[in-house]
Amino acid sequence: MVSRQRVFNLLRTMNSLSCQCPAHGCRGNIQVSNATPVKDYAFEIKNSTVRYGLGVTREVGLDLVNFNAKNVCVMTDTNLMTLRPVQSVLDSLTKNGIKYEVYNKVRVEPTDSSFKEATEFAKRGKFDSFVAVGGGSVMDTCKAANLYYCDPDADFLDYVNAPVGRGKPVTVQLKPMIAIPTTSGTGSETTGASIFDYEELKAKTGISHSALRPLLAIIDPLHTMTMPEKVSNYSGFDVFCHALESFTAIPYNERSPAPPNPALRPAYQGSNPISDVWARFCLQTIQKYFARSVYNADDIEARSSMHLAGTMAGVGIGNAGVHLCHSLAYPIAGNVKTFVAQDYGDEPLVPHGLSVVMTAPAVFRFTAASDPDKHLEAAGLLGTDTTGKKQADAGAILADTIIKYMDTMNIENGLQKLGYAHEDIPDLVKGALPQQRLLKMTPLPQTEEDLSKMLEDSLVIY
């Protein structure tokens, strides 16, 4: 067990390395007091404006008129280009006389190179606003393109999270961005995060700053009706893990140190009573609608409910944070060998939702000791009868609940099915360690051996 002082010193070092801004959003000169850091005692909730409704995309052209937009960059991917979500956005823009250009070359599971290509397109176009229509890949690419378009002299790593990049706060004014999600998953439409695969490290990392948060999120469940089964399945497990991880993250008032200036309070603050509301709602929605939404593409009630849950979980994680499933998922996705996912194109890739759920049973077996009652509550919200169950069994009960969902949804049985073996575990651990922003949200201290064991236990799951 690591000593409390060591954990405290580590957190203090990491805090000094990480983005120094209010919820990643400082634009000024921050005064830092020398007071001894103690545990935090406060949390705050930040969010994009969210508009939800069947068919509400028809309003996007008017929104752009209201923003006084004259030249709009619409970003999407090649697959979505011919489908209803993009067509309905372009119809609304045309109807309202908005001039636009479309960039449809967004890479699914983007990389630093694909971010740079999208930025080059933005730089050529001299745009005054951005609209992203797609899943997390599109929204994250659009956030990054907007950032580097507005700060053309920046080095790419300036804004990337430390320790991979320099974690520089965003002080330039970004152009207004509207995000229109088409999956029920990432919640990127409400967060200031932009995630990419850093090819050199073979691991995912990101840019996190509240300035990246879209001005408006238009949540139109009609867009989910074209989602193929596997996209609905894997992105649903992203929502599943967002809800579980934010619900079980270190409590906000256990996180150290308290910021010496409120402007330095991080985006990921730990679980708190408000993000718990989102998480509970999401877990209940998942219990009622997840399987229905995956297996019945025309079940509009189920698909609409999961779409709302995706956004709600985004609000939860955007303020509470995620922890181990996501930390371990980044190298699982980044080191992909030959795994090709159905409905995600021909290139080898591990879809984000699949990469996060792979370790979920092992993760929650590990974290249950931090708060057995909350882990039991989560299992109950997901449909397991926990009456009379012992606290000591909380981890096993939640893990079994998760496995039941994975089984129902035909999820690949462990990392072995994704092409990993025992010999790959050290590389996966190495890729997880730089994810300090997420690891420090874990409710218990963890060693490299703990991470290895969780990955080992995830080679074959059920």
Choice between 96 and 111, CB closer to ligand NAD: 111
Q: Does 182 bind ligand NAD (CB under 6 A)?
A: yes
Nearer Cβ to Fe ion (220/238): 238
Q: Is 446 exposed, middle or buried (0-12, 13-18, 19+ CB in 10 A)?
A: buried
Instruction: For residue 195, state whether it binds ligand NAD (rule: CB under 6 A).
Output: yes
Q: Is 167 in the site for ligand NAD (CB under 6 A)?
A: no
Site for ligand NAD in 350-409 (CB under 6 A): 352-353
Binding-site partner at residue 235 among Fe ion, ligand NAD, none, CB < 5 to 8 Å by type: ligand NAD
Q: Nearer Cβ to ligand NAD, position 93 or 329?
A: 329
CA–CA distance, 228 with 108 (Å, rounded to integer):
15
Q: How far is the CB of 95 from Fe ion (least distance, A)?
A: 34
Picked from Fe ion, ligand NAD, none, the partner binding residue 276 (CB below 5 to 8 A depending on kind) is none
230-269: contacts with ligand NAD (CB under 6 A): 231, 235, 238
Instruction: Find where tokens 């025992």 sit.
Output: 422
Residues 337-356 interacting with ligand NAD (rule: CB under 6 A): 344-345, 352-353
- Shortest separation between residue 316's beta carbon and ligand NAD, angstroms: 11
Min. distance of Cβ 454 from ligand NAD in angstroms? 20
Least distance from Fe ion to the Cβ atom of residue 341, Å = 16
Q: Which of 137, 269, 293, 367 binds ligand NAD (CB under 6 A)?
A: 137
* Omega before residue 257 within 30° of 0, cis: yes
135 binds ligand NAD, rule: CB under 6 A: yes
| 88 binding partner (options Fe ion, ligand NAD, none; Cβ < 5 to 8 Å by kind) | none
Q: Which is nearer to Fe ion, 238 or 377 (CB)?
A: 238
Total residues at interface with ligand NAD (CB under 6 A)? 37
Tokens coding 343:
């409905």
The residue (of 25 and 85) whose beta carbon lies closer to ligand NAD is 85
Given the rule CB under 5 A, which residues bind Fe ion?
238
CA 39, chain centre distance (Å): 26
Q: What is the closest distance, in whole angstroms, from the C-beta atom of residue 425 to ligand NAD in the complex?
A: 22
108 binding ligand NAD? (CB under 6 A):
yes
- Of 227 and 394, which has the nearer Cβ to ligand NAD? 227
- Which lies closer to Fe ion via its Cβ, residue 313 or residue 394? 313
Site for ligand NAD contains 83 (CB under 6 A)? yes
Nearer to Fe ion, 104 or 275 (CB): 275
Least Cβ distance, residue 225 to ligand NAD (angstroms): 7
Strands 193-198 vs 177-181: parallel, antiparallel or unpaired: unpaired
Q: 460 with 414: CB under 8 angstroms? A: yes
How far apart are CB 77 and ligand NAD at their closest, in Å? 5
Interface residues toward ligand NAD, by CB under 6 A: 77, 79-80, 83, 85, 108-110, 134-138, 140, 182-183, 185-188, 191, 193-195, 204, 223-224, 226-228, 231, 235, 238, 344-345, 352-353
